[in-house]
Amino acid sequence: MTSEPEKGRRRRIAVALDASAQSLRVMGLAATIAAAMEAELEGVFVEDADLLRLAGLPFLREFRLATRRENTVDRERLQRELRATARWVRESLERSASQRGCAWSFRIWRGDLGAEILSAALDAEMFTLSPIGRFAPFYSRPSAQPQLGRDTEFVVSVLFNGNEGAARALAAAADLGARHKAALCVLLQAAGPSAMRKLRDRADALLGKARGRVRYLPLQQGDSEALARAVRAVKGDLLVVDSTNDLLGRQTLWQSLGALQCPLLIVR
């Protein structure tokens, strides 16, 4: 089973980035995925529009650790710092892509981080995302993470509810797992034993010869906490989800990311 892009269209995998250590780790993972799938890696540096709007308020103060002083927030200085950070992230992206031998591009996106992040890469086939910006402090993950291509087994989990988008996500997860001999876990999103059996049969049919290497896990509750528990149970290092899944709604996306403790690969 192989996930193929539309005819004549080059595959592109986008990754949302800021200057955090977690963001840089996800950058490396996205570069590895792009190289494995012979796709272009697109780095999207996110400028939180809310942060820039707050910088213009006269009563806002910042405390700088270097000087141990409290000052008003200088909007122009903040913009200069953001531009400098964007240059540094771009250089990091270039190094990461060069090391893995994949094509790359970079752009800056400014918007409402909480509600509109999925619009940052509308034309990308896949979008790698982890908590960034003001959502990052709610995320914790051990520093020693398995990486694709290393001896430690990498576990790719995929959320599958049987629709067309989920089939694309399953294809992408199976493709990635096959290229790197990663373990594949299919989280079956259905209610009741009968629906679960039908869903597994459909996944088996789509996977074909790959189905012998797959672990299935029922996911009867369709909420972010149940999903996070399932991913942790299989020690998942990456979760693949199609962009139409309800768990990617504006009200649930960041809650899901914070609970997952692993990056999310969104398949369009």
The candidate with the shortest Cα–Cα distance to 105, out of 119, 117, 123, 118, is 123
Q: Measure the CA–CA gap between 70 and 121, rounded to whole angstroms.
A: 37
- pLDDT values of the chain reduced to their tens digit, one per residue, 268 residues: 555 555 555 788 999 888 777 788 889 999 999 998 889 999 988 777 767 766 665 655 555 555 555 666 667 777 888 889 899 999 999 999 999 999 999 988 877 665 556 665 556 888 888 766 544 443 344 434 445 555 557 899 999 999 999 999 999 999 888 887 788 999 999 888 899 999 999 999 999 876 667 899 998 766 677 888 888 888 888 999 998 887 766 555 666 677 777 888 989 8
Residue 133 has what pLDDT?
Answer: 53
The pLDDT of residue 164: 94
Q: What does R_g of the chain's alpha carbons equal in angstroms?
A: 19
**How many residues comprise the chain?**
268
Residue 124: predicted pLDDT:
81
Between CA 36 and CA 44, with CA 39 as vertex, the angle to 5 degrees is 115
CA-nearest of 141, 143, 101, 109 to 127 is 109
Burial call 171-189: b when 16+ CB within 10 Å, e when fewer: bbbbbbbbbbebbbbbbbb
What is the predicted pLDDT for the residue at 213?
74
Is the Cβ–Cβ distance between 262 and 182 less than 8 Å?
A: no
What pLDDT score does 205 carry?
A: 93
For the entire predicted model, the pTM comes to 0.79
